[in-house]
Chains A and B, each alone.
Chain A
Amino acid sequence: MPIDVSDSVLVARELLSVEDAESVLDWLIQHPHGQIDLADCNHVHAANFQVLMAARPKIAAWPQRETLADWLRAALIQEDTIHVQDDSGS
């Protein structure tokens, strides 16, 4: 199971597949202030992107994989600040 959930944090590992999008969406609906931990995530299916973009949850940890992190930041943070952000270490 790539997704571990607690009351406040959803931890995604390896890959968020197209099927996971539904679960992520449900969890975000139920936990409007939930945070997402993507540190160990390597790839996120585009459907999850949509969910994250629509929900704009707080990202507890950005992916360690730079390509993915860059895209997620581009999607979730206003573009003017793209080049300023760097909190991937958290």
Chain B
Amino acid sequence: MNPLLNQFLTEGRDFLEAIGAKLLELERAPEQGALIDDLFRLVHTLKGNSGLFDIPEMTRVLHAAEDLMDAVRDGRVAFSRELADQLLEAMDFVSLLIDEIAEASTDGQPPSTSHHAKDAVRLGAALRELMPEHPQTPAVSDAPDAASVSAGTESGSRPETDDLLDNLPESVRHDIQDRLAAGEPLCWLRYRPEEECFFKGEDPFFQIAQLPEPLWRRLGAREDWPPLPELDAYRCVLEFELILSVEAETLVEHFRYVPDQVEIRSLSAAMPDPAASASSSESQSESEPSSWAGLSPEARESICLTLEAQREILVLSDNPSWLGGRLRAVGATLAALLTSLGRDPAATGLETALEAALATDSGTYLLRWLDHQTWPASKPAAPEPIAETVREAIMAPTATDSSPATKTADEPVKFGRRADDQLATVRTLKVDQTKIDRLMNLIGEMVVAKNALPYLAARAEERYGVRELAREIKTQYSVINRIAEEMQDAIMQVRMLPVSFVFQRFPRLVRDVAHKLGKDVRLVMEGESTEADKNIIEALADPLIHLVRNSLDHGLESPEQRRAAGKPPEGRLTISARQESDRVLIEITDDGRGIDPDVIRRKAYEKKIIDETTLERLSDQEAINLIFAAGFSTAEQVTDLSGRGVGMDVVRNAIARVHGSIDLRSRVGEGTHLRLSLPLSMAVTNVMIIESAGQRFGVPMDAVAETVRVARRDIRVIKKRLTTVLRGRLVPLVALNDLLALDTPQIANDDDELAVLVVRIEKEYLGIIVDDCRETIDIILKPLAGFLGDLTGYSGSALLGDGSVLLILNPRELL
């Protein structure tokens, strides 16, 4: 589904809920001005949003509601119970539309809701009636007229149609009769555009010209034309009248934006001339399938009676709870009738009509279907009253549409009924993040509890010597392990956000910054749909913006400089994201001037970040990495964009905080390439358990390069520091007990070898001497809180399967 529409639907439901709550609150305390303001704002926003889509019915009702709320806000109308009822009903209607759109919408376009047009007009009028002055009085007074799209049952409107048809030229009348006899659907349409329509950008003639060629047309004016000098060309008094060969629904759809300005009447059998109807019925019987010829007059009559009964049922305007059953019964009867006439019910579209009827909770569709079928005509001597009712029903095929409208007089329709039984349709949940976090914590605990099972198995075997049981526990463990992992995975999915969440602001940012700096930059973004945990994505936002700004400010040159360097004037900045096993890689590449290691060296020396000896020794790559050092800024000129010297070290720390790493490559004149590697999720950390001084600690596996046993005699002291040679490389060693200020020596094993955990910190290797290295486990890392939060040497704690607390070391901070 179109994301915009999706958002509208989700938000729309929220708005409706809020509006409903506010209305109820207002009922309790009607004097609250603030509440009314809120309510107005909600309705106003919802109306505005609905205008983005092709849902005129919704917009119409909301517009009326908004006007009414405006009147209430200005004190022109007192808030009353009826007013609240009416508004609530309007909101139920809107909610019904939203549900319908949500159900139907698959291709990104909201479905047509034109079959609700009449309800919309009625609700709109009802809302406006509550206002003291009716700014759209014509609309209201037109309402019965407009509703006569449907309100054919009103005896008044029929003769009018007849008159109109009587006025037709003879030739047209014959043509129409012939076409009707041939079963063509004909409609009479009158379109009276409202007077101000030109100011709304409407072109009524364009609307009309879009219709197929009419059989008959008349273009008139509602009043006599004044002398030319007094004519107001922009006050529309036109009146179009047409007879077209189209279905009434098509016309309703075509004029769905102005349902109160058109009058549509289906001419199926409505020709008033008795001779005409006789001839049409004659021609109808001629066109009957031959299989019907054998029908006895009795059979014909009973068919007619059955049909008649169905019509009467469908026309019933009460709205009982068993309406669905009633419609199905009609459908079944009709299907049986078709079968007995030797026709295939499926081929006639009966089922579609029935479904539509069930969906709309009204018999209209079935009735229309009935009208469009040819049935065996009953004997001319059919009982008069029935013929009369048949005729009536045929003449006003949309009469049932009006059943809600005609009913309003005594008992308003309740859309609220839908609100009661449609609860299950909400597909999206908006959940507070803390709830998800709680769920995640619980799953974390589950993982920990699960980890206790192997301990148990080991104990069963070692302590109690029941190997069988140990094996069974292990089998159970693998099952629970699988489920727990899936649960974990599922909750991760919930927390996943696409990187586009951060990326989406870059086009604007790049454009603005580039403009400010007078540079031409083309931004290329790739892999926006790559997903990562919400926390990671959020932590990424600021550093990324910083990096992009840096690239724009320091990396890319101005067009002149670029031309001088023989590069295209337009700089290119690529931001890409992709997933690689359990990490997300984000790369920012520019084709700018690159970083000059010599400049960095000199600056670093000037700023006393490195001393002279280091200066000599540093490789180019190491020099470039110096820009991550605290307090380093190379910009000649401090701009308001970047270059305050807080840049890169802040970036590095922010990335490190979410266990990410950053890698910088640059070639002078060719550009800079930054690569951020981040974990997909921070929820589960794989740690290695080590022992030292009788305590257990965890070290994150992503920091561990290897574990080795180093014989005590291989350890040399160089400049008071312990070192050893590992695979031809000099590795400095530190004892964990020294780092933690524990006053005990490290314990060697029986062969006088010390366990060394080689960790990698910023591409440097360091050996940490521990007493013993144990297994690796998955833990849920909980940051230290409160007073302990200041202890930088630990990245957090975790609960172990046997119930003990494991402190997780942070090697980087420990040193």
Contacts and interface: CB of A to CB of B under 8 A. Distances in A.
Do A and B come from the same complex?
Answer: yes
Interface of A: 18, 21-22, 25, 28-29, 32, 43-51, 53-55, 67-68, 70-71, 74-75, 79-80, 82-83
B169 interface: yes
B3 interface: no
A71 B233 contact: no
Contacts of B206: 43, 45-46
B236 A70 contact: no
Q: Kindly name the residue among B219, B228, B233, B236 whose own CB sees the greatest number of chain A CB atoms within 10 A.
A: B233
Nearest to B201: A18
B397 to A, nearest CB: 28
Given A21-B233, A67-B213, A71-B217, A49 B225 contact: no
Given A53-B219, A71-B205, 18 more contacts: A18-B234, A22-B233, A29-B228, A32-B228, A43-B205, A45-B205, A45-B206, A46-B203, A46-B206, A46-B236, A47-B234, A53-B221, A53-B238, A68-B209, A71-B208, A74-B218, A80-B169, A82-B217
Nearest to B219: A75
Interface of B: 169, 171, 193, 198, 203-206, 208-209, 213, 217-219, 221, 225-226, 228-229, 231, 233-234, 236-238
A47 B169 contact: no
Contacts of A21: 233-234
Chain B binding site: helix, strand, loop or mixed by DSSP?
A: mixed
B198 A46 contact: yes
Contacts of A28: 228
Contacts of B219: 49, 53, 71, 74-75
A21 B199 CA distance: 13
A36 B169 CA distance: 29
A17 to B, nearest CB: 9
The 3 closest A-B pairs by CB, nearest first: A54-B225, A46-B205, A75-B219
A50 B221 CA distance: 8
Contacts of A75: 219
Contacts of B213: 67, 70
A54 B226 contact: yes
Nearest to B237: A50
Contact of B229 (A22, A29, A53): A29
A46 to B, nearest CB: 4
Nearest to B171: A83
Contacts of B204: 46
Nearest to B168: A79
A30 B205 CA distance: 26
Nearest to A81: B169
A53 to B, nearest CB: 6
A70 B211 CA distance: 13
Please indicate which of the listed interface residues A49, A50, A55, A67 has the most CB atoms of chain B within 10 Å of its own CB: A50
A55 B217 contact: no
